[in-house]
Amino acid sequence: MANHGHTAESGGGTVAHGTYSVGQLAALAGVTVRALRHYEDEGLLRPARAANGYRRYGAAEVERLQQILLLRSCGLALADIRAALDDPGFDFHGTLSRHLATLRARQKALETLMGTVEKTIASLEGRYEMTDTERFEGMKARAIAENEERYGAEVRAAHGDAAMDAANARLAGMSEAEWNDAEALGATILERLREAAAAGDPRSDAARELCALHARWLQMHWGEGMYTPEAHAALAEGYVADPRFTAYYDEAAGPGATEFLRDALVAWCTEQ
């Protein structure tokens, strides 16, 4: 009879001497046996071996697995998790604190969005009449939640919680006119980037105008007093380092547009 991937090692039974078998730990942590073995192959988790050769996981391995799973939820790759946990200077507390701040911000935005969805359903059923302001609040909440999901952890790590919280507060406080202005400016920036990158000179007048528009766009999103040329230049470097930003700008303005934008912004910010 087929065992569907199970082995004697992964089976149940009592926990011996305060340790877990691979199957018991998988059940406890809510992961698969295959995942635990993969973590072992990647050098992340190193179980002891019983006399019969079976894996045994003690308190240290259980704690380490929890750390692995928490860091995975922060969006870290397995190679980065291994390097972090093997580094005595790694700030695990700070990493989790920033992740918690991201989760709380996302939760707040999602609660607002859920309220909008509920009101929309009630409106469709004829039980509630939504105002334009309520419809717009849901749109902003969705944008905040998406920003936190995609970039919250990185922004908080690089620039601190205050920067991300201020950006969220600024977005939440936008009027519909301000929102539309920001959206229109974002579209203009992509158009100007496409034109300037095609010309190829990151120090041209067109590139400088592009950078000034980009600075104005950031100030609209970051909130009062949060913008500095230094932070702008650092963000530009992050565009190239983060494949998500690179994909966004390159797809919108052509291959190499992200690197051009970075070069133009770094040069422009140095002059400010």
| 117 vs 12: which has the higher pLDDT | 117
pLDDT of residue 22: 95
140 and 201 belong to one structural domain: no
Q: How many domains does the chain have?
A: 3
Is residue 145 in a domain? yes
Q: Which of 65, 85, 105 is the last residue of a domain?
A: 85
- CA dist., res. 127 & res. 79, Å (int): 52
pLDDT band at 256 (very low <50, low <70, confident <90, very high): very high
| 6 vs 250: which has the higher pLDDT | 250
- CA dist., res. 31 & res. 222, Å (int): 39
Instruction: Express each pLDDT in 126-179 by its tens digit.
Output: 998 888 888 888 888 888 888 787 777 777 777 777 778 888 888 888 888 898
Is residue 3 in a domain? no
181 and 267 belong to one structural domain: yes
Percent of the chain predicted with pLDDT > 90: 51
59 and 107 belong to one structural domain: no
- CA dist., res. 65 & res. 75, Å (int): 15
For the domain that residue 60 is a member of, what is the CATH number? 1.10.1660.10
pLDDT of residue 244: 84
pLDDT band at 17 (very low <50, low <70, confident <90, very high): low
pLDDT of residue 12: 47
191 and 257 belong to one structural domain: yes
100 and 159 belong to one structural domain: yes
149 and 166 belong to one structural domain: yes
238 and 168 belong to one structural domain: no
216 and 231 belong to one structural domain: yes
Lowest mean pLDDT across 21-25, 179-183, 184-188, 260-264: 179-183
pLDDT of residue 10: 54
Predicted TM-score (pTM) of the model is: 0.57
Please give the helix or strand (H or E) that residue 50 lies within, else none. none
Q: Which of 48, 66, 85 is the last residue of a domain?
A: 85
pLDDT of residue 111: 86
pLDDT of residue 233: 93
Residue 3 above 70 pLDDT? no
Residue 16 above 60 pLDDT? no
- Residue 15 is given by DSSP the state P
210 and 251 belong to one structural domain: yes
Is residue 4 in a domain? no
Range of the domain at 153: 91-173
Residue 219 has which token pair?
Answer: 């100030």
pLDDT band at 192 (very low <50, low <70, confident <90, very high): very high
166 and 181 belong to one structural domain: no
Mean pLDDT of the chain: 87
pLDDT band at 208 (very low <50, low <70, confident <90, very high): very high
- Specify whether the backbone of 260 is left (phi greater than 0), alpha (psi in -120 to 50) or beta: alpha
pLDDT of residue 147: 79
Is residue 10 in a domain? no
Residue type, 202: P
269 and 195 belong to one structural domain: yes
191 and 102 belong to one structural domain: no
pLDDT of residue 176: 84
For the domain that residue 212 is a member of, what is the CATH number? 1.10.490.50
Is residue 105 in a domain? yes
pLDDT of residue 11: 53
Q: Which of 173, 191, 211 is the last residue of a domain?
A: 173
Average pLDDT in the 187-211 region?
Answer: 97
- CA dist., res. 122 & res. 130, Å (int): 9
Is residue 269 in a domain? yes
Is residue 118 in a domain? yes
| 142 vs 187: which has the higher pLDDT | 187
- CA dist., res. 216 & res. 32, Å (int): 49
| 57 vs 1: which has the higher pLDDT | 57
Is residue 53 in a domain? yes
- CA dist., res. 247 & res. 245, Å (int): 5
Instruction: Express each pLDDT in 214-252 by its tens digit.
Output: 999 999 888 777 889 998 998 899 899 888 889 999 999
